[in-house]
Structure 1
């Protein structure tokens, strides 16, 4: 069973509020940055190097309020956005990367992220998978066009993400240029093709982005693109993380916790159980594609209660599981 690293963070999570900044180590702060209803915040991480320079990981969603808030938190470290030494992203989703372009302009720093994430941006597949190519996706799911109303998304459409002017690729195994600190990049595709975690090797702490979260199973294939099947790649990423099973975790949402291995095994068990469900549905002859397999699977709210964005997510992920089940039989 996992346990929170900080009680105030955990209580904020239970209350659905944004936690106050918390020092995880003498040079590492977790900063809850407001996001939206249902997902109250993402975590930005401020890392101080041995020369007192400040480095930012996953600065959060871009709003005027968040710019002011992050500036105030950075000021507590004795600098301002213009004094930031580096910006690194675990992945390029708006709740983690939105402020990166602004912060890069203010500081003059390039934005570091994995080359697979950069390739996706250059292929113009950035942004939400819930808005692009619905007709093509419905065909891939096997969903009748006449049922399109079930996946309509109502409400305000978020603005397009601003891509930073200068992107600098990082690679698996690379140490980030943070003076006096050993922060190693590990490529963990699955949630997105270029997702990475950052291992603080001398601290027993891993910043996992959305690869491991304390309270939900992370969506797989959250972005287009990438090589191989996203579910298969995600299982490989979980296997890679086994080397850090004893470490503490700074996730992308929720609350910071320990140990990594407990949550990693739970998430892997969930993925393998879902894959077994999909194989059973295919073997029964009652399912041939995402649209016919998905109703036979277990869904938290119940299949009949899914609509809009949640139904799109369910069908996208079911399609990935169907693809893997067919390519790699049990």
Structure 2
């Protein structure tokens, strides 16, 4: 969901002076480079992988999607700063989504680099490994869509699945599971790993407070808010966790944002405040929909909301985006229930919500 006034794909990053997704190794601070890597079939266009130079080699924040074009571009970009895959000491992965994790784990296991991932991502990885062994049955997201009242969308998702199983090599388990916060000493740098659940249960941001930068992953994005409620197995109160995690980031110093998607941005404080205000506004809209309509499912409420920066109707979105919108709306409604502003009742057609 876009929260800024400019389309993410057309945002210019101050470190390069060009569209943020343009190819290159862009220096954002002394010893830190931003390398955008392409994403297939994704409106976000790219993911920013960050390279941090240390006395013992390179630390990469995230790794990119394990596809040939991304691997080749990462190799080329590292060579442009007189480095290579063999110089990578560790990957600090913000979360388990494939555009962040899969190339990190592939390269990590090929070159002996340590791969670090949040411990709360282990259930998702185990689910993927069961799927790679054809032991999962149908996608767990289908039941999540049905609980949101989106049975027709779930059926279209099911029909659109090509039957391909995840490649277990892309989802190898990490070398280190992060449990709680900790600090990594990287030469003269200290990088603080801060647990920020919400987008996924095991999401981490990494703060170099001395340098004044926040490797924000998908937690604090400069032009959009990350998907909420789109994670399997489903998390309890993902929006509540996300907003609490934003408050945790607000307790750090005001840092320059080095996001996974989008341009470098000047102030974590300013962006966190915008994101919190955005979701409070969405919560108010959801409550107004419940008050007007009575007992309804998440999908019905999602139809009352605008989507993307153009405030499009739900039916104008592609089927995949409609499903994500239904699940994100459910996350908002579940938080209203937790706040005592609504009730939830299980129903064969999906969870039904009522304003209190």
2:144 counterpart of 1:137: yes
1:174 is matched with: 182
Give the Å deviation of 1:223. 1.5
Q: Are 1:219 and 2:227 matched, yes or no? A: yes
Structure 2 residue 318 is matched with structure 1 residue 307: yes
1:53-202 matches, cutoff 5 A: 53-124=57-128, 132-133=139-140, 135-145=142-152, 154=160, 160=166, 162-202=170-210
Q: TM-score, normalised by structure 2?
A: 0.81
The 1:210–1:71 alpha-carbon spacing in structure 2 relative to 1, beyond 3 Å, is same
| Matching of residue 259 in structure 1 with residue 267 in structure 2 | yes
1:29 to 33, 42, 48: 33
Match of 2:216 among 208, 211, 219: 208
Counterpart position of 1:320: 331
Unpaired stretches in structure 1, ≥5 consecutive residues: none
The offset of 1:120, in angstroms, is: 2.6
1:324–1:20 distance in 2 versus 1, CA, 3 Å: same
User: What SS does the aligned partner of 1:246 have?
Assistant: coil
Cα distance in 2, alignment partners of residues 156 and 200 from structure 1: 42
> Any idea what SS the aligned residue of 1:235 has?
helix
User: How far apart are 1:168 and its partner, in Å?
Assistant: 0.8
8 Å Cα contact 2:145-2:327 kept in structure 1: no
In 2: Cα distance, 1:125 partner to 1:295 partner: 35
Counterpart secondary structure, 1:257: coil
Distance 1:107 1:134, change over 3 A: closer
Question: In structure 2, how many angstroms separate the alpha carbons of the residues matched to 1:80 and 1:313?
Answer: 37
* Cα pair 2:315 2:322 within 8 Å, conserved: no
RMSD of aligned residue pairs (Cα, Å): 2.8
**Matches for 1:262-273 after TM superposition, within 5 Å:** 262-273=270-281
TM-score normalised by structure 1 residue count: 0.87
Aligned residues: 322
